[in-house]
Amino acid sequence: MADLKGKKVFVTGGAGFIGYHLCNKLSTLTDDLTIYDNLSSGKMENVKDNHKAKFVEGDILDVKKLCSQPK
């Protein structure tokens, strides 16, 4: 995972228990982390803890919104 410096990382489900821990680790390895979650079971407090990541609320089934995220 150390080769993520300078890479864009996009995590779906990043507000859940596993995603929270994954994103915390990834945020130490990259400066461009986006968390995408619909908050159906995840918690916003999990996302707020990660100050380096960008959060987008959405559902992966909403393809139009998912594909329109800034590059």
Confidence (pLDDT) at 3:
83
Query: pLDDT tier at 2 (50, 70, 90 boundaries)?
Result: low
Confidence (pLDDT) at 15:
94
Listed in sequence order, the residues at least 6 apart from 33 whose beta carbon sits closer than 8 Å to its beta carbon are: 9, 11, 23, 26, 27, 50, 52, 53, 54
Is 63 or 7 the better-scoring residue by pLDDT? 7
Tokens (6 digits) for 1? 């995972």
The string of pLDDT tens digits covering residues 12-70 is 999 999 999 999 999 999 989 999 999 999 999 988 878 889 999 988 888 777 677 66
Confidence (pLDDT) at 57:
92
**pTM, full prediction:** 0.81
